[in-house]
Amino acid sequence: MHLLTVSGIQKWIGGEHILKGISFKQDRFQNIAIVGESGSGKSTLLRIVSGFTQADEGEVLFEKQKVKGPMEKLIPGHSGIAYLSQHYELRNNYKMAELLQYANKLPAADAAALYKVCRIDHLLGRKNDQISGGEQQRIALARLLVTAPRLLLLDEPFSNLDLINKNILKSVIRELSEKLKITCLLVSHDPTDILPWADQIMVMKDGAVIQKGSPWQVYKHPVNEYAAGLFGKFNQIASNGKTMFVRPEDLHIVTGTPNTLMGKVKKVHFLGNAFELEVMLLNELVTIRTIDSSIKAGDTVHVALAN
């Protein structure tokens, strides 16, 4: 049985067709990530799944039951689904422990375990103005999780976080399914946030899902230039009348083996853990990633396509 079944969702806002027939299914503990450019409809879709926005057509089933929208229900939302928006707010002048206790539906031991998973147990005695932005976000998350949801919808959870808080939140999200048995559906802009995490990625453009697949599929075999660009740099290489999207790390600098092309290195950029080369190859500038620190601008190199 699928945890979530979304069928034929359509949404118009102010005469604009915002969602154009979105359908997908999510199993329990399956990590699904939604990516897409700004304005492609990701947040609207999450809000419809959560029951906070009314779909014009289509249906959301959660644990086989229809998720009702605000026009069908007095108090919007679904008790089994938690939605952490980009714009969460914590009430002022309360200690964090009070905020959490107020929402809590869990036995004390489970709540304590959850505070540990969310890395907030040391913040419980503090007030709003005594915690950082990243900590506030984890409190807001814990406040949703103490209501014992089975599905958590996260809208751009990493967007305003520095690297340290981002890594903490990534660990928290990983532990949600393992330790707390909560399934996550996540919207993000950043490929590095979702490629290692997701079981399935849905790529959205202009209110439609244009590609669904494993992280490997969408990264290595994007359906078009737009999908390729969402996951970082790529080269377009024509081969047998078809356009291939080739990632910089899939072009290799080799020495003297057959089936290689000769190119001239134009620029070398240091990335920290690798170098990115701009190489003129068959009158096209291509990007190649390498760990070889000896290659310099002006060098002639042999390039092969990884199998």
* Residues within the interface to ligand ATP (CB under 6 A): 13-14, 18, 36, 38-44
Tally the residues of the chain. Answer: 307
What is the nearest approach in angstroms of ligand ATP to the Cβ of residue 18?
4
Three-state secondary structure of 253-297: EECCCCCCEEEEEEEEEECCCCEEEEEEECCEEEEEEECCCCCCC
What is the nearest approach in angstroms of ligand ATP to the Cβ of residue 17?
10
Nearer to ligand ATP, 10 or 260 (CB): 10
Write out the two tokens for 111: 């709540």
Write out the two tokens for 294: 């000896």
Contact 128, 88 (CB under 8 A): no
For 210, phi and psi rounded to 5 degrees?
-100, -15
Nearer to ligand ATP, 20 or 126 (CB): 20
What is the nearest approach in angstroms of ligand ATP to the Cβ of residue 221?
23
Nearer to ligand ATP, 16 or 178 (CB): 16
What is the nearest approach in angstroms of ligand ATP to the Cβ of residue 23?
17
Which residues fall within 8 angstroms of residue 189, CB to CB, at 6 or more apart? 35, 38, 156, 159
Nearer to ligand ATP, 42 or 150 (CB): 42
What is the nearest approach in angstroms of ligand ATP to the Cβ of residue 247?
24
What is the nearest approach in angstroms of ligand ATP to the Cβ of residue 13?
4
Which residues fall within 8 angstroms of residue 57, CB to CB, at 6 or more apart? 8, 9, 10
In a 13 Å sphere around the CA of 217, the CA atoms on its Cβ side amount to 11
Which residues fall within 8 angstroms of residue 183, CB to CB, at 6 or more apart? 3, 4, 26, 27, 28, 29, 30, 31, 150, 151, 152, 177
What is the nearest approach in angstroms of ligand ATP to the Cβ of residue 66?
22
Nearer to ligand ATP, 165 or 188 (CB): 188
